[in-house]
Chains A and B, each alone.
Chain A
Amino acid sequence: MVKKQEIIKAESRNFNFFYADGTHALKDINVPLYEKRITALIGPSGCGKSTFLRSFNRMHDLYPGNKYQGKIILNPDDTNILDKKVDAIEVRMRISMVFQKPNPFPKSIYENVAYGLRVRGENNKRMLDDKVEEALKGASLWNEVKDRLPDLAFNLSGGQQQRLCIARALATDPEIMLFDEPTSALDPIATVNIEELMSELKKKLTILIVTHNMQQAARISDYTAYMYLGKMIEFDETDIIFTNPSKKETEDYITGKFG
């Protein structure tokens, strides 16, 4: 199935998730995230893609009553990040996230990008300046904003705001970046920008992306997981999933025969 020699950066093992109201949203999910590869999660709305993605940075901890079961192993530590002994904040320091709708903070462009470093106690001006520039360049936003770093982030366009959020997530040198439908609120040109950006980012880090757009998954991802009703139906190389899936359900979904 996986021909090349790949390194597993993270992996879910028999992972189950329950929302506070008892909803069994994820059932026995086993998915590897290969290092410096893009893994896409596809499947119909409500199948549990976001729920799965948000487990990787323990976002569900924010709401009382949610329950994880099973493991998500992070390498090279070989540690289950869902373990109660593991600090969720430490996890989020290494696994960052970009949301569906751009959610910049009510701060300047500069401070938005510097936020993660400030939260870590970094206050050295030179260091922050360098990191902010590097992150904005990494998110191909630098040229557009370098002359107005003190401006409020809300003044940027939607696409720019989303790249700002990527810069913000990049500034802390994460090992894994999670994207939850990052282009669904953007126009086609901004979408292309972000897709190109992701292909650039994977040279440095591992990416897990939820997308409702199958073409997007086909274009940018190396691996694809098809989910349905909280279950992982099929995981494979993207080419295989889109040309020669082994499961009938996957094929039906890919070819649009599904519901």
Chain B
Amino acid sequence: MSNVKPTISKALKKNIRRNFVERLIEWALMFSGLIAILVTFGIVYILVSESIPFFDSVSLKEFLTSTIWTPNFEIKNYGILPLVAGTVTITGIALIVAIPLGTITAVYLSEFASHKVKETVKPVLELLVGVPTVVFGYFALLLVTPLLQKIIPDLASFNMLGPGIVMGIMIVPYIASVAEDSMRAVPMAMREGSYAMGATRFQTAVSVVMPAALSGIIAAYILAISRGIGETMIVAIAAGQQPNFTFNPIESAATITAYIVSVALGDLEHGGIGYQSIFAAGMVLFIMTLSLNILGQWTRNKFSERY
């Protein structure tokens, strides 16, 4: 009896051990978050500091407007446009393939497929995500391009069409998976509302589920674009590494990433202008993806669903 009172007052006292553990966890989480932020800033810092000397020798105007990129030639030209054109063209082709296929796959999986089909198809799609991109590169070079050449005789052995299509196939699972997740998150009550109005499955999917999942679907597309812009191996292998200011998909071209990897693998001396040029190119890449992410955030907020 006598020890009842102290026990209660003890229990009400602050639990030092628990508080300490909570704090520790909080710090650990903050620390890992901090690392990610620091690394990002580190990357930006290196990009900027390494491209400043580059822009001492090459004017920003030339860099942004010249249509010739010949860092390895006698007469050196540093116009980023050919690399941007290659990046945009190949990514564009990839999206033309991936957006319809990925969206249709997502709609099918989320609205039409039976449970059994879903459980079979999803793992297969995820398997596709795990295929190393080098494999896709050789797939483009040795299988897709020769096949395409049967249809388009003018197609160069290194071209943008083949790698673009293959990149598109590679991106399909990303779009399908992210879009399907956001469509599946649409409450059943909303679908039932549509069916109760006499809508078909397809009408429900297109007119109710997709608008309800719009922000997720757009996020999927933006992720796909980022993935396309950043993709390196497929283009380095199958598009040729010839910087070429063209949007014609049957010609060969280089992308920003393909250029960076070719220089990084070559034996250019550190500190030279050729070496610095990859940082300037990387900067362009960084700005492109950053703008996409901002666009993604913006659309996400603008179309954020409320149900």
Contacts and interface: CB of A to CB of B under 8 A. Distances in A.
Interface of A: 57, 59, 62, 64, 89-90, 92-93, 96-97, 99, 101, 103-107, 115-116, 118-120, 154, 165, 168-169, 172
A107 B198 contact: no
Interface of B: 114, 187, 189-200, 203, 207-208, 211-212, 214, 305-307
Chain B interface mostly helix, strand, loop or mixed? Answer: helix
A169 to B, nearest CB: 7
A97 to B, nearest CB: 4
Residue of B189, B192, B196 with most partner-chain A CB within 10 A: B196
Contacts of B207: 105, 107, 115, 118-119
Residue of A64, A105, A168 with most partner-chain B CB within 10 A: A105
29 contacts: A59-B192, A59-B195, A59-B196, A62-B192, A62-B195, A64-B114, A89-B199, A89-B200, A90-B198, A92-B195, A97-B196, A99-B189, A99-B192, A99-B193, A99-B196, A101-B189, A103-B307, A105-B190, A105-B211, A105-B212, A106-B190, A115-B197, A115-B207, A116-B198, A119-B197, A119-B207, A154-B307, A169-B197, A172-B198
Contacts of A57: 196
Contacts, number: 71
Residue of B114, B195, B197, B214 with most partner-chain A CB within 10 A: B197
A105 B198 contact: no
Contacts of B192: 59, 62, 99, 103
Contacts of A118: 207
Given A62-B192, A99-B192, A119 B198 contact: yes
A105 B194 contact: yes
Contacts of A62: 191-192, 195
Nearest to A105: B208
Contacts of A92: 195-198
Contact of A172 (B190, B197, B200, B211): B197
Contacts of B200: 89, 119
A123 to B, nearest CB: 13
A115 B198 CA distance: 10
A237 B163 CA distance: 74
Contacts of A96: 196-197
B212 A106 contact: yes
In order of increasing CB-CB distance, the 3 nearest A-B pairs are: A93-B198, A97-B196, A103-B193
A58 to B, nearest CB: 9
A106 B193 contact: no
Contacts of B194: 105, 115
A89 B207 CA distance: 16
Given A103-B189, A169-B197, 17 more contacts: A57-B196, A62-B192, A64-B114, A89-B199, A90-B198, A92-B198, A96-B197, A99-B189, A101-B189, A103-B193, A105-B194, A106-B212, A107-B211, A115-B207, A119-B203, A168-B193, A172-B197
B193 A165 contact: yes
B306 A154 contact: yes
B219 to A, nearest CB: 16
B199 A119 contact: yes
A106 B208 contact: yes
Nearest to B210: A106
B195 A103 contact: no
A92 B203 CA distance: 14
A9 B142 CA distance: 69
Contacts of B189: 99, 101, 103
A30 B214 CA distance: 44
Nearest to A120: B198
A168 B114 CA distance: 30
Contacts of A97: 196
Contacts of A115: 194, 197, 199, 207
Nearest to A91: B198
B197 A103 contact: no
Contacts of B191: 62
Contacts of A116: 197-198
Contacts of B199: 89, 115, 119
A64 B112 CA distance: 12
